[in-house]
Amino acid sequence: MNFINEIIKSESSIRTVIIGGVNNNPDNKYIDNFLKRIELISSTGKKIIIFYPHVKMNKNIKACFTRPLKPATQDCSTNEREVTEIRSNFTRLERAIRDRHPDVMFFDPNTVFCSKSGCSSVIDGLPVFRDDYKHFSEYASEKVGDKFFDWMEKENVSL
């Protein structure tokens, strides 16, 4: 982390720091350490954007698609419970950050594949996840990126 800290502190060309991969159910120690990180970044005058944790939908992505001689064996959608739980659990961390750093911004990538009725691990017939570790597929990454840039424009944020 010291290497990253030094880059953040010394590199004037970095104007915005985007943080993703955040724990979706942080404990007090995680929150304290995260706040220290935000403090360090904030002290440099850089803008901070934090991505909400994304839904994982504990489904076997391979089972969602029909293959030659093998039908899909799973419906790869879920109700809104998981995304609601993520947002609820994340609220503690978000509040702690907003209390100390109200200028930090938050983006929710779940809006790409979740609606009020639920979430789907398939967008336009293509998988949201590329592996069992729930990393976004290239297509889903493009969709999240498009939504993020729309959000940035709406929020008047530049990188």
Give the pLDDT confidence of 27-66 residue by residue, as tens digits. Answer: 999 999 999 999 999 999 999 999 999 988 776 777 777 7
C-alpha span between 121 and 113 (Å, rounded) = 7
Average pLDDT over residues 78-102: 92
Burial class from Cβ neighbours inside 10 Å (0-12, 13-18, 19+) for residue 83 reads buried
Q: What is the pLDDT of residue 127?
A: 87
Q: What is the pLDDT of residue 156?
A: 93
C-alpha span between 5 and 11 (Å, rounded) = 10
pLDDT > 90 fraction of the chain, expressed in percent and rounded: 58
Residue ranges of domains in the chain: 2-153
With bands split at pLDDT 50, 70 and 90, how would you rate the model's confidence at 26?
A: very high
Average pLDDT over residues 129-157: 93
More confident residue, 97 or 129: 97
Q: Give the homologous superfamily in CATH for domain 2-153.
A: SGNH hydrolase (3.40.50.1110)
**Amino acid identity at 139:** Y
Question: 25-62 burial, b if ≥16 CB within 10 A, otherwise e?
Answer: ebeeeebeebbebbebbbebebbbbbbbbbbebebebe
Average pLDDT over residues 70-95: 86
Q: What is the pLDDT of residue 59?
A: 66
Centre a 10 Å sphere on the Cβ of residue 101 and count the other Cβ atoms it contains.
Answer: 14
With bands split at pLDDT 50, 70 and 90, how would you rate the model's confidence at 68?
A: confident
Q: Is residue 152 pLDDT above 80, yes or no?
A: yes
Q: What is the pLDDT of residue 112?
A: 95
Lowest mean pLDDT among 34-38, 81-85, 146-150: 81-85
